[in-house]
Amino acid sequence: MRTHCQPLLTPTQLFFHTGRATIEFVIERKDGSLAFYDPKKGGPVKQARLQVEVDGYSAPLSAGNFVANVQDGMYRNKSLQVRWWSL
Regarding pTM above 0.85, the answer is no
Per residue in 31-75, pLDDT (tens digit) is 889 988 988 989 999 999 999 999 989 989 888 889 999 999 999
Domain residue spans of the chain: 26-76
Backbone angles phi, psi at 34, to 5 degrees: -80, 85
H helices within the chain, ranges in order? 60-71
Per residue in 7-36, pLDDT (tens digit) is 555 556 678 888 899 999 999 988 889 988
